[in-house]
């Protein structure tokens, strides 16, 4: 079998992601039923003896902890390389790092800036490479998001999603998921901050409807899922001008009232209350952000199992 890399959702495809979500639901339920402590391995420990190396060139809480706990629960172990204290930080190439790690560990997860770097790593690694976020995309987050909305009763095909705010990496992966699972995304975004059109074109070609809108209320109207994220992503310049442009897209209670009464609110976190979302919404009854955060763990386990050829 070819080495499986997970750089974007399309690397696995819709059927494999559906299998990941289904396995995550089963494993989550089985652990709950067995009353296992978080550090204990699942009964089958399918990744016993495997080691995941995690490279962080940007900060992380959820991705770091969820991958670490995920591989432990699957019976394996992990190690963390910090971008600045490894030789990567002194200019050793991505290609050489990939070759060396491939001789010592069983899989690599990397969080970095330029997406071309992770593509370079995948070209030179002989073990699976997993995208823990780049400037372009955040596929692991979206596996968790899909799992979360499904658990909360949303049937993906034909569902309506509203994204409010910056056209960023998380949105790109949502748009990619829309193409794979045939749901529609209305993007409320100010001029100059639109998502990369490549993702929209790919999703449209697969039958999803991706619509850019300037009016936030129109974007949210009738939505099943309302999503936002920080207005200034890691590595972005930001500034007063951007914050001002984003303000009309803040997710407020009155904006949520435009969506379906059953609509769920998602945010990948970390959040900036009173910027992209009010405290009333993020801490309110429609918000499912803590389930979403927990589901990073369950989703990561499925991504690892897929990468090792045990799923999909």
Name the residues that contact ligand NVA, by CB under 6 A. Answer: 133, 168-170, 229-230, 233-234, 268
Q: How far is the CB of 269 from ligand CP (least distance, A)?
A: 5
Out of ligand CP, ligand NVA, none, what residue 276 binds, judged by CB under 5 to 8 A for its kind, is none
Which residue, 136 or 184, has its beta carbon nearer to ligand CP?
136
Q: 161: closest CA among 130, 198, 111, 195?
A: 195
> Least distance (Å) from ligand CP to the CB of residue 168?
12
Distance in Å, CB of 138 to ligand NVA, minimum: 6
What does the alpha-carbon distance between residue 99 and residue 95 come to, in Å, rounded to a whole number?
A: 6
Catalytic site includes residue 296: yes
d(CA 83, CA 106): 19
> Which of these ranges, 4-12, 14-22, 60-68, 88-96, lies near ligand CP under the rule CB under 6 A?
60-68
Of the pair 208, 271, the CB lying nearest ligand CP is at 271
- Cβ 111 to ligand NVA shortest distance, Å: 9
- What is the C-alpha to C-alpha distance for residues 309 and 296, in angstroms, rounded to an integer? 20
Does residue 148 bind ligand CP (CB under 6 A)?
Answer: no
Residue number, nearest CB to ligand NVA: 233
Cis status, amide bond into 270, omega within 30 of 0:
yes
State the virtual CA torsion across 93, 55, 28, 168 in degrees, nearest 10: -80
> Which residues have a Cβ under 8 Å from the Cβ of 218 and sit 6 or more positions away?
186, 188
Q: Active-site positions?
A: 111, 138, 141, 229, 268, 296
């Amino acid at each position: 079998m070819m080495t499986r890399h997970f750089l974007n959702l399309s690397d696995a495809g819709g059927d494999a992601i559906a299998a990941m979500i289904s396995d995550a639901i089963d494993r989550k339920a089985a652990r709950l039923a067995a009353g296992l402590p978080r550090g204990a391995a699942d009964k089958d420990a399918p990744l016993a003896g495997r080691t995941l190396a995690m490279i962080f060139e940007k900060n992380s809480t959820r991705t770091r902890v969820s991958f670490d706990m995920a591989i432990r629960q699957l019976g394996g172990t992990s190690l963390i390389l910090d971008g600045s204290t490894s030789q990567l930080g002194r200019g050793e190439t991505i290609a050489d790092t990939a070759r060396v790690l491939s001789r010592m560990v069983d899989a690599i997860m990397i969080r970095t800036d330029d997406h071309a770097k992770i593509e370079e790593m995948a070209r030179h690694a002989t073990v699976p490479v997993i995208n823990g976020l780049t400037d372009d995309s955040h596929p692991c987050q979206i596996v968790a998001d899909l799992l979360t909305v499904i658990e909360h009763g949303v049937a993906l095909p034909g569902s309506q999603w509203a994204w409010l705010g910056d056209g960023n990496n998380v949105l790109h992966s949502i748009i990619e998921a829309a193409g794979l699972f045939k749901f529609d995304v209305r993007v409320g975004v100010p001029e100059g901050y639109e998502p990369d059109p490549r993702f929209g074109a790919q999703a449209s070609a697969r039958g999803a409807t991706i619509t850019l809108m300037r009016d936030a209320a129109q974007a949210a109207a009738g939505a099943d899922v309302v999503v936002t994220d920080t207005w200034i992503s890691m590595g972005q310049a930001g500034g007063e001008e951007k914050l001002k442009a984003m303000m009309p897209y803040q997710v407020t209670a009155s904006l949520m009232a435009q969506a379906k009464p059953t609509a769920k609110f998602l945010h990948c976190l970390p959040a900036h209350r009173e910027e992209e979302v009010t405290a009333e919404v993020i801490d309110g009854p429609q918000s499912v952000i803590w389930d979403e955060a927990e589901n990073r763990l369950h989703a990561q386990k499925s991504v690892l199992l897929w990468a090792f050829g045990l799923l999909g």
